[in-house]
Chain A
Amino acid sequence: DGGITQSPKYLFRKEGQNVTLSCEQNLNHDAMYWYRQDPGQGLRLIYYSQIVNDFQKGDIAEGYSVSREKKESFPLTVTSAQKNPTAFYLCASSISAYTDTQYFGPGTRLTVL
């Protein structure tokens, strides 16, 4: 089955700890994206990657880091510098950054205790 997987589904973290969210796709898509969603709000772009070994900051990149060492993987690290990390995190991919439809994973709910 082709698709995007995110793990874990729920994640709890103590303040001051870094945590890494996983995103994997087997759609052979070049472009991948990370979004953050707060309750009752739309999605905001954190980072995106148009191709392997390349990524760009989105609108709210502060306190986050990413890597794109493999085409199918785009992990997101939420660092202790992120002041309000509790949110729903969504990963997406598309055939290329120049086109069209974005496909989303099921999301990870991060709660900082």
Chain B
Amino acid sequence: GIQVEQSPPDLILQEGANSTLRCNFSDSVNNLQWFHQNPWGQLINLFYIPSGTKQNGRLSATTVATERYSLLYISSSQTTDSGVYFCAVEQASGTYKYIFGTGTRLKVLA
């Protein structure tokens, strides 16, 4: 099956810093989503981005499907950005199932 790798596994930032999180996948995908899981376990969808670039406030994401990777950019980080960021992909074979990466654990220090 498709493999989804995220890097870095852990990241510590000072408030105000910028960061880039990466998601690599081993096969063609139909869909890709980025999620943020807060310290209480709630997952929030950040982007649905099978290709191209999207921006939402301080966050933006780019997926280059032909090269099998996606990037999540966080600018001017805040302590509330702390948590785990997951990317999830649906394989292009149309399984309607998402495979999650193991996540990037982000801690933003005040």
A residues adjacent to B (C-beta < 8 A) = 31, 35, 37, 40-45, 48, 50, 58-59, 88, 90, 92, 97-98, 100-104, 106-107, 109
Question: Which chain B residue shows the least CB distance to A59?
Answer: B97
A103/B103 in contact, CB under 8 A: no
A37 vs B43: C-alpha distance when bound (angstroms): 12
B interface SS class: strand
Could you jot down 16 A-B contacts, CB within 8 Å?
A37-B41, A40-B102, A42-B100, A42-B103, A43-B86, A48-B97, A90-B41, A90-B43, A100-B48, A101-B48, A102-B33, A102-B98, A104-B43, A106-B40, A106-B41, A107-B42
B23 to chain A, nearest CB (A): 11
Chain A contacts for B99, CB-based, 8 A: 45
With A42-B86, A50-B96, A102-B98 given, name 10 new contacts (CB 8 A): A35-B100, A42-B101, A42-B103, A43-B86, A97-B96, A98-B96, A100-B48, A104-B35, A106-B42, A107-B42
Contacting pair B100 A43 (CB below 8 A)? yes
Q: Is the CB of B96 within 8 A of A88?
A: no
Number of B residues near A (Cβ < 8 Å) is 21
Asked whether any CB of chain A lies closer than 8 Å to the CB of B31, the reply is yes
Residues of B within 8 A of A100 (CB): 31, 33, 48
Determine whether B45 belongs to the interface, using a CB cutoff of 8 Å to chain A. Answer: yes
Residue-wise, chain B 80-110 has the 8 Å CB interface mask toward A (1 for contact) of: 0000001010000000111111110000000
Whose C-beta in chain A lies nearest to the C-beta of B103?
A42
Whole-angstrom distance between the alpha carbons of A10 and B44 in the complex?
Answer: 20
Q: Given the complex, which residues of B lie within 8 Å of A44, measured CB to CB? A: 100
How far apart are B27's CB and chain A's nearest CB, in angstroms?
15
Q: How far is the CA of A105 from the CA of B103 in the complex (A)?
A: 19
- Neighbour of A102 across the interface among B41, B45, B101, B103, CB < 8 A: B45
